Structure 1
Amino acid sequence: MARQNGITIEDVLKMECMERSKIIAGFGGIKNTVSRVNIMADPDILNWVSEGELLLTTAYALTNDVEFQKKFILSCSQKKLSGLGIKIYPYIEKLDESVIELANSISFPIIDLYYATPFSEIITPIFKEIFNKQTILLQRLENVHESMMNIILKGGSIEEIINVVYENIKNPVILKLNYPEKSILKLDGVEEDTKEKLKKNFEEFYTKNKGIFEKKFYESVERIQGKNVSRMVMPIVVKNTIYGHIFSWAMNTPLGGFDLSVLEIASTTMAVEILKLLSLREAENTHKIEFIEDLCSNDEKRKKKAEGSFSIYNFSLEDMFCYIIVKIKRSYKKADLNLYSDNIYLSNILEEILSKLKLNGLVVGRKDQIDILLCFKRDEDVKRRINVFKDEVLDLFNKKIFLEYKIGVGRCLKGIENIEKSFKEAQKSIRAVDILNDRNIVLYDNLGVYKLLCNEEIKDEIMDFYRSTIEVLDDYDIKKSTEFVKTLKTYFECNGNLKRMSEVLYTHYNTILYRLQRIKEITGLDVEKENDRLCLHLALKIRDVIKN
């Protein structure tokens, strides 16, 4: 929507210079805003007109061609002119009915100008009235800006800023913020049923866009309670990232240029406030990162330094600690956000979960992951509380946050000296998410044989075992385009049931027998022998670790 401040067609018709003029068509556009006035010297004027102009002309300039007149009026409407003033007499008796019907159908105002009133006596008073109104609007906007700046300077709240918006727009207003996460509804003055319709319309904005928003102002006409209602939606953008929107509906008064300006001022003011909160958050997060890295360091001096901050986080040396790592990837549903802003948003919500469950811990945002360090006293039911936290986090990601993610959970171990160990276990669990390929979260306690296979200390021995068993099978598949590794994996998945293997692989029973024989010949290991079967099964598990 272009910013058009001025007076309405209705205001123009009430002016003394228009006393003997009258509107003859397009009554539905009587609230159109006139921001300036122009005179038509020839039909090419439409190449130079601007939105919001009231165009003055004579019937002589329009000729007697009805089709031309209709085409011209349609073009004026498409150019978003506010209306057309025509001196019909003495050039023609009246406009054709089809022209009047067209103007009515598109709500484009046509004013029959009194023939004896000079254009100059129309233009000058209108421009003067527009100037006066714009001066008043500028003063009002200055007051709005000053009010919002005073709120910020005095350490006021976002709620106070929205109150200023509501008082000036005089229409329902809803604020939705991602960070800090909150919704503020100012719906006084409308019936309860209408409130519910507005809330639904607000929610549908997010549902229809599926979380993908352009960094632009949205204006639309919505169907509310059987009526067409104008709606404005202003984004709140900080560091090229959308942090929320301000909504308003024209339920009480029309929404115009002044209202757009108020929303813009509010959006900018809130962006400043959010930027301040983000700066504080970044400083706090930097301190947490340093604290965590000191805790996990092998340097005794750094660990002693971290111990000095224990009281800040309500930790003690004898507590139990559990390290959790959340790896995130940008999802198409959050395409407007960058990874860092996602982390800030998610860190904030994860801290709210800790508070809700009365858990003591730290949430640290990094570039592509979030670290969580949970702290428990010795007498707590640690396993149950970790599972409750895990379920809350999964519910958050699966129902609310549209991000691809994986979570690794280390064991809960006693003492500061074991925090690094729990951290490494969480890292191994993260790697196992891709290996297991059937879940988004893995607890180190549930890794089974992968605890050994993900052990960095025996990495060389594990690689040697893989090379001496099925690496040759991998190479053979690549060179010959065979599927022997897939066949071997299916053998163990089907517990050696050859008939079931045949069904899963859509392959003849005899072909399965042939492939197992070829696997024996290539690897020198026979699935019929217990020790060989164990080696092949373990080699496949190692292959999962290596390939991921």
Structure 2
Amino acid sequence: MNRDNGITVKRLMEAPIMRQSKVLAGAGGLSNIITRANTYADEDIFDWVSPHELLLITWLNFQQKNVDEMNAFLDRAVEHKIAALAIKFSTPEQSVPKAVQKHANKLDLPLILIDPVTSVADVSSEVFNQIFALQAELLRKHEAVYDRLMTTLADGGSIRDVLAIVSEATGQPAAFAFADKIDSVIVVAEPSLVNVLKDDVRAVWQRHARRNRLNEDKTDLGERTDIDRLTVPVSGRNQLHGTIFLWGVAERLTPFDRAAVESVSASVALLIVQEKQLREIANKHSAEFVGDLLTEATRNDALERARIYNLEVDDTYVMVIIRLVNCTDTTSAFCVNGIYDYIYDHMRWVTASLQSHSLRGLVTARRTDFMVVVAQSGHDFDTRLNAFAESVARQLTATGTSKDPIDIRIGIGKPYKHLRNLWRSHADADKTLMVGTRLYDATILRFSDLGVFRILVQGEVNEELEQYFTETLRPLLEYDRKKSTELVRTLESYFKNNSNINKTSEELFTHYNTILYRLERIQEITKLDLNDANDRLNLELAMRLRSLFP
């Protein structure tokens, strides 16, 4: 019989039939589980026992042993995982030697003295009766949990409602932590415990993040120490959605407690999958709406639907694009198979972060981008928008692993009056990511950060710009490649040091005359004079454009 179906030694001793009996030693093992009773009949008893048995023995059999033999008998009982020894005495004067009692205390093996009036058969019957009664009780409790769970799901209940069922059935506090949003922990407990339990959840996830298995261990909750803790993973669609937690605060966790949590884990997974499907449908519609706003042919129709998304057409709007740049051109397993789930799983967090920074707008997703439409409001709008971008970048980057790192870049467009001009802000944000990530080593970039490149990257001048770069700098690049020289690197350092040859020489660890020679070769190849202000500007601008035209 499984130990989950047994009773504790303590529960047996509370039975009326055991009122005259007592635990003589080994009280540290009162929580041991008894699954059946067995009677000591011969010396080979340990060839027949099973773990978690109550071994019944008469004093007549036990007294034939000396102290060392009695202690050896106790050792073998522990080795075979016997729950307790119940010794039947013939007279009240009989007792177990003090040395044997001391050894039982050391082993935490309960020694029960059955009073002379109570029979061994009565004790054995009590064990089985209690086990059967416990089975019936557990069955009733399981049915009650199941009935409440089905009713809750039929009524459109939430994860918190499911946790409340578990907490009420077990009498213990419960919690759920989302795998993709550890800061969002749902706790059902008395108010004084909520923050303590949230801290414990975060501590578990920091040590065992993404561990997809049931675990039972101990923890400390403030002044409460050695508390039982059960963690049960909630999975679906080959993905870990989160973990259910249950703590033995009121008393030790029982087999029923574990079974109750395991029984609701599938329901929690179902609720999460349903919620995710609803989010996917909502995102599909919101993505279509934003796509229509960005397209001239469908823009007017989209403006009529703006109020559905709580957007006022006459407000000023900024487009924020959050891009997973390591998935824009890659065939890694994560980017091919995992990016879809990643985007949808984290949209909820991006939306919550937008709201927590007192920003109003709409979050949607397309391919490797989160697109955030933000309505400009308040005198400190820029501060709040920057704080939002920094928070999102920090949190999303932290979700990466050494195997699948998350490389985030955030582009923020210019604000434009009226929702019909959102396409302009989107174009600005997209250009900022396209150009800014090549020019600047920064996670968050505003269109205004591009400086003069705001003009140079406009679509209508791109072709001329590339032609200008080809005529000005590409001959120098080709010369370096063929001759294995460092003319471009020298020119870059020269401009960086404000045309100071001495500083250029020091930075490159190259002789002053060598730098002079290289500068002369640069002028011969490019046919531009570094002493002429216009020629020098053309070369410096071409150097800045180098990252745009590799």
When normalised by structure 2's length, the TM-score is 0.76
Aligned to 1:201: 200
Question: Contact between 1:70 and 1:99, CA under 8 Å: does it hold in 2?
Answer: no
Paired residues for 1:67-146 under 5 Å:
76=80, 81=81, 83=83, 85=85, 101=103, 104=105, 107=108, 126-146=127-147
Identity %: 28
Aligned to 2:302: 306
1:250-304 CA-to-partner distances (Å, cap 9, x unmatched) read 2221102111122223433333223332222221111111112222224x2x334
SS in 2 for 1:546: coil
SS in 2 for 1:255: coil
Paired residues for 1:327-406 under 5 Å:
327-328=323-324, 339-355=339-355, 359-375=359-375, 385-398=381-394, 402-403=398-399, 404-406=407-409
Shift of 1:350: 3.8
1:44–1:397 distance in 2 versus 1, CA, 3 Å = farther
Aligned to 2:214: 217
1:11–1:544 distance in 2 versus 1, CA, 3 Å = same
Where does structure 1 lack aligned partners over 5 or more consecutive residues?
none
Q: Which amino acid aligns with 1:29?
A: G
SS in 2 for 1:544: coil
Question: Contact between 1:217 and 1:235, CA under 8 Å: does it hold in 2?
Answer: yes
Shift of 1:450: 2.5
Question: Contact between 1:236 and 1:242, CA under 8 Å: does it hold in 2?
Answer: yes
1:358–1:65 distance in 2 versus 1, CA, 3 Å = closer
1:412–1:129 distance in 2 versus 1, CA, 3 Å = same
Aligned to 1:267: 265
Paired residues for 1:526-545 under 5 Å:
527-545=530-548
Aligned to 2:404: none
1:223–1:347 distance in 2 versus 1, CA, 3 Å = closer
1:199-241 CA-to-partner distances (Å, cap 9, x unmatched) read 54344334445xx221222321123426322112233434444
1:53–1:480 distance in 2 versus 1, CA, 3 Å = farther
SS in 2 for 1:488: helix
Aligned to 2:244: 246
Q: Greater shift after overlay, 14-23 or 406-415?
A: 14-23
Aligned to 1:154: 155
SS in 2 for 1:407: strand
1:505–1:113 distance in 2 versus 1, CA, 3 Å = farther
SS in 2 for 1:248: strand
1:171-200 CA-to-partner distances (Å, cap 9, x unmatched) read 333444567985444443x9x5x7765554
SS in 1 for 2:398: coil
Q: Aligned partners of 2:26, 2:483: CA distance in 1, in Å?
A: 77
Question: Contact between 1:322 and 1:413, CA under 8 Å: does it hold in 2?
Answer: yes
Aligned to 2:227: 229
Q: Aligned partners of 2:87, 2:521: CA distance in 1, in Å?
A: 97
Q: Greater shift after overlay, 196-205 or 214-223?
A: 196-205
Q: Which amino acid aligns with 2:304?
A: G
Shift of 1:126: 3.6
Q: Aligned partners of 1:276, 1:125: CA distance in 2, in Å?
A: 48
1:457-482 CA-to-partner distances (Å, cap 9, x unmatched) read 44333333333333344455556665
SS in 1 for 2:250: coil
SS in 1 for 2:31: coil
1:292-344 CA-to-partner distances (Å, cap 9, x unmatched) read 2222224x2x334323313323556555443221113799xx99x95445434
1:141-175 CA-to-partner distances (Å, cap 9, x unmatched) read 12012112212212334443333222222233344
Shift of 1:345: 5.0
Aligned to 1:464: 467
Q: Aligned partners of 2:177, 2:37: CA distance in 1, in Å?
A: 39
Aligned to 2:280: 282
Q: Which amino acid aligns with 1:306?
A: A
Paired residues for 1:478-493 under 5 Å:
483-493=486-496
Q: Which amino acid aligns with 1:545?
A: L
Question: Contact between 1:179 and 1:243, CA under 8 Å: does it hold in 2?
Answer: no
Q: Greater shift after overlay, 171-180 or 457-466?
A: 171-180
Paired residues for 1:494-505 under 5 Å:
494-505=497-508
Q: Which amino acid aligns with 2:166?
A: V
Q: Which amino acid aligns with 2:452?
A: V
Q: Aligned partners of 2:393, 2:431: CA distance in 1, in Å?
A: 21
Q: Which amino acid aligns with 1:392?
A: F
Aligned to 1:439: 442
Q: Greater shift after overlay, 166-175 or 425-434?
A: 166-175
Q: Which amino acid aligns with 1:388?
A: R
Question: Contact between 2:20 and 2:114, CA under 8 Å: does it hold in 1?
Answer: yes
Aligned to 1:29: 29
Question: Contact between 1:33 and 1:82, CA under 8 Å: does it hold in 2?
Answer: no
SS in 2 for 1:545: coil
- Equivalenced residue count is 521
1:124–1:74 distance in 2 versus 1, CA, 3 Å = closer
Aligned to 1:163: 164
Q: Greater shift after overlay, 345-354 or 222-231?
A: 345-354
Q: Which amino acid aligns with 2:212?
A: K
Q: Aligned partners of 1:228, 1:528: CA distance in 2, in Å?
A: 78
SS in 2 for 1:258: helix
Which one of the candidate residues 395, 409, 412 is aligned to 1:409? 412
Aligned to 1:419: 422
Shift of 1:545: 1.7
1:37–1:253 distance in 2 versus 1, CA, 3 Å = same
